[in-house]
Amino acid sequence: MGNSFGKLFKITTFGESHGRCVGVVIDGCPAGLKLEKKDIQEELEKRKPKAEGISTGRREEDEVEILSGVYKSYTTGAPICLLVWNKKARSKDYEEIEKGLVRPGHADFTSFFKYGGFSDLRGGGRFSGRITVSFVLAGVVAKKILKERLKIEILAHTIQIGEKKIEKVKISEIRNNVYKNKMRCANLKVAEEMEKLVEKIRREGDSIGGKIEAICLNLPLGLGEPIFDNLDGEIAKALFAIPGVKGVEFGRGFEVVKLKGSQNNDLFRIKKGKIITETNNSGGILGGISNGMPLVVRIALKPPSSIFLPQKTVNVRKKKEEILRLKGRHDACFVPRAVPVVESILAIVICDFAQRAGLIERVISKSPYYH
């Protein structure tokens, strides 16, 4: 259990890093959405490793297959199963791990004991970053619905890696620059510095953490169901499904700890006949409900646990302390690859809430074929 998310727009994920495939079943997509292989392929490219220094050397040639729920290029209302076959996994690198040598920081240890030693530990198995392919697959559908029906736009970008961080950026910079550089950073100059840092860390056989910000524009007022199914809570929960997330914050986030009410309160005013807030410290959410301002959320991503320095660990099958010397190809930083994943997660959650609020009709459009 635990592999599904959503109430009306509901996804169920499956697959492992070195298994046959990773995939997703999307239940609750309205009928009549145009959905073609190329739409999905484009988004998959975004999370592909591009640069040796940053991403895994492993070249993933991910190609989606649409197994159900789409007929003559339109969604039918039936569940959509999307799948990417795994290729070229080098399972040999994981022999030691399978023999019981759990990697520090990874889920090998908890997975091994929770599942009584039956887990597929190759490449992290079900706990690998590879599974975020499922999120991207579902995210394509969610983004399309949000864009075509509600003109909602979702943007994510790298705002910090190690000590390197960006200052203020404009929305236009995010739109234009993020997918033009390897670091997924909106500021091209900082992107370069980040790249150098990651390259340095990689050469040291080490890894580095980072921070991603996501913004959701044109979100209608009123999304979110208090008290428990509020917008921030559900987004936070979904973001923690991304391997390596250690913190989630909205608006001013952890800065509010030091703020006074007079500094933090966003004052209301009327601008061009619309009620807005002068500042957006709340990150677009009041009482768990969207207030019409841009939704702003940030996550902290830990440094990848796979490093090439020797590490003390335990062989859980032998119950003995041993030294782990990692093999294989590993990201020195997974922030860049996580950027499109964060976008996808956000789209999935918001699509679900938009449906709960009755904003998305069950039948989306008229097919040229039928009518």
User: Under rule CB under 8 A, which residues in 88-147 are in contact with its own copies?
Assistant: 102, 104-107, 109-111, 113-120, 125-127, 131
> Rounded to 5 degrees, what angle do the CA atoms 71, 360, 136 make?
60
CB of 121 to its own copies, least distance (A): 9
Q: Which is nearer to its own copies, 48 or 269 (CB)?
A: 269
Which one among 58, 225, 280, 328 touches its own copies, defined by CB under 8 A? 225
d(CA 332, CA 171): 28
Query: Angle formed by the axes of helices 335-356 and 231-239, to 10°?
Result: 140
Residue carrying the six token digits 């040291």: 204
Give the separation between CA 99 and CA 87, rounded to whole angstroms: 23
Shortest distance, position 151 Cβ to its own copies, whole Å: 19
Number of residues engaging its own copies in binding (CB under 8 A) = 155
Q: Cβ 1 to its own copies, closest distance in Å?
A: 4
Q: Is 327 in the site for its own copies (CB under 8 A)?
A: no
Phi, psi of 341 (to 5 degrees): -70, -40
Q: Is 351 exposed, middle or buried (0-12, 13-18, 19+ CB in 10 A)?
A: buried
Separation CA 123–CA 125 (nearest Å): 5
Stretch that binds its own copies, among 136-144, 146-154, 184-192, 313-321 (CB under 8 A): 313-321
Residues 230-259 that bind its own copies (CB under 8 A): 230, 232-234, 236-241, 243, 245-259
Residue 319 sits in the site that holds its own copies (CB under 8 A): yes
**Which residues ranging from 339 to 358 are in contact with its own copies (CB under 8 A)?**
355-358
Binding residues for its own copies restricted to 10-69, rule: CB under 8 A: 10, 12-16, 19-23, 25, 27-28, 31-32, 67-69
User: Nearer to its own copies by C-beta: 131 or 175?
Assistant: 131
Judged by CB, which is closer to its own copies: 109, or 327?
109
**Interacting residue with its own copies among 37, 39, 58, 76 (CB under 8 A):** 76
- Name residues contacting its own copies, limited to 160-219 (CB under 8 A): 160-163, 201, 206-211
Give, in degrees to the nearest 5, the angle at Cα 32 between 147 and 6.
65
Q: How far is CA 109 from CA 70, 100, 117, 130, 285, in A?
A: 40, 9, 10, 18, 37
Cα–Cα distance, 234 to 6 (Å, whole number): 9
Site string for its own copies, 262-301 (x = CB under 8 A): xxxxxxxxx----x-xx---xx--xxxxxx--------xx
Angle of helix 132-150 relative to helix 37-46, nearest 10 degrees? 120
